[in-house]
Copies of this chain bind each other. A is one copy, B any other.
């Protein structure tokens, strides 16, 4: 149930790619590639596009008044980001690793939503998810200690990126710290302690093997 007819057949020049926003709601968008740390959009820029990650990882972030960076979320393959419905972006987005994203004109989405009930519901559903995530994150930041935060992070990212209990983290310790409201050192110490606990193994700093998922879940619940 495509809201916009695919004018160009798929064998044409790779100018458009299909984006599935929600069940029964797809639109065409422009694929773009970004290098590591490349900016996708900046805070305050007009928000003309909405994006979906095809491969790689993206971070959305803001800066607090004292200049410290806060990462709002990491977006992996399939995630939609840049959907705030305002005139301009309230945060910026960068590629964490080499990444492919598809950009969809916001006006196109809005048009679709005003016609198609499925479309409107899909957008609301996305907003709802973002809101739930943001609140969960606020709870984490308000109430949990360093070890618990990192455990939650690993379990979250693990749900998305695991293959056989092994995770290849696309992001640095600095990224993790700015996401969890911790310093690089605190993140590193949390990793080290988990390694000593045999909760995880760390063949390299970006490669995590989950050895004792139960221990992590226990930490999460603390």
Contacts and interface: CB of A to CB of B under 8 A. Distances in A.
Interface in A102-144: 113-114, 117, 120, 123-125, 127-128, 130-132, 134-135, 137-139, 141-144
A211 interface: no
A113 B221 CA distance: 39
Interface residues of A, number: 38
A220 interface: yes
A107 B181 CA distance: 39
Q: Which 5 A-B residue pairings sit nearest by Cβ, starting from the closest?
A: A142-B181, A134-B134, A141-B141, A65-B221, A138-B138
A13 interface: no
B181 A143 contact: yes
A65 B120 contact: no
A85 B221 CA distance: 27
